Amino acid sequence: MTTATYTTPDPTITAVPFRRLLRVELRKLTDTRAGFWLLTAIGIITVAVVIVFLFVAKPEDLTYINFLGATSTPQGLLLPVLGILAVTAEWSQRTGLVTFTLEPSRLRVALAKLVAVLLVGALAVVVALGVAALGNVAGTVLMDGAGTWTFGIPNVRDFFLLQLIGVVQGFAFGMVLMNTAAAIVLYYVLPIAWNVLFSMVDSLAKVAPWVDLNSAIAPAFDKQTFTGDDFTHIAVAGTIWVLLPLALGLLRLLNREVKSA
């Protein structure tokens, strides 16, 4: 008859500090070819669209809010892909076995990834704000532009909110599918198709802001700041399109078998 033996945990062994996990995940965003070139593309395109806008826009349109609108478009399209890559890289590049061996808590790894992409997303927004400011100054000096700076704290808040929602939504889609190509396609196609449906059916117009995230954030694209009702719409639609996929993705991550090949 065999006797079961139990090993007492060594009290001198401590968990990996979260800041170390965060540093690792931040490094992963830049030390892969996909991550490096995506971040490089975001920076180059952000500057490029400002230069193009500077020379093609009418002088009266050369204002800070319009320059910022130009920089927000490419970032809004590309930053969610960064969130997707942060998750799917573990599975497409077969690094998951190493990651989850060194840190068995998958929840901590997922949180570190999310914080990493949010930090990079916030930094990208700061860059967009700065590049737009330089463009506005250049427009005033070189093109005799209007050069107005009408852009208050609520606008800055809404700009950060829009971009970071996109990053988290991309992250959530990546968590659900854990496949880069599938997550990118679904992220762009599904919300667009859903938005088109609600745009074509007049009877659904009143419901759209509650269940369609694009409709919920539409006031920002009309150069308005979000009000109380808008935040309520974003909270409800965001639960459907961001929090629910994120929860399903976490559930899948916690239960998926990790393979080395």
pLDDT digits (tens, 9 = 90+) for 156-199: 899 999 999 999 999 999 999 988 999 999 999 988 888 788 77
Give CA–CA dist 215/16, Å, rounded.
42
236 within domain boundaries: yes
11 within domain boundaries: no
Between 72 and 246, the higher pLDDT residue: 246
219 within domain boundaries: yes
**Full DSSP string of 5-63:** --PPPPTT--PPPHHHHHHHHHHHTTSSHHHHHHHHHHHHHHHHHHHHHHHHS-GGG--
216 within domain boundaries: yes
Give CA–CA dist 61/67, Å, rounded.
9
81 within domain boundaries: yes
Q: What's the mean per-residue pLDDT of the chain?
A: 87
**pLDDT value for 136:** 94
| Structural domain of 121 | 18-255
Tell me what the mean pLDDT of segment 34-38 comes to. 87
3 within domain boundaries: no
Q: Is the pLDDT of residue 1 over 60?
A: no
159 within domain boundaries: yes
Per mean pLDDT, which range of 7-21, 81-95, 98-112 is the poorest?
7-21
Give CA–CA dist 158/68, Å, rounded.
12
Total domains in the chain come to: 1
60 within domain boundaries: yes
How sure is the predictor about 233, in pLDDT bands with cuts at 50, 70 and 90? very high
**pLDDT value for 93:** 66
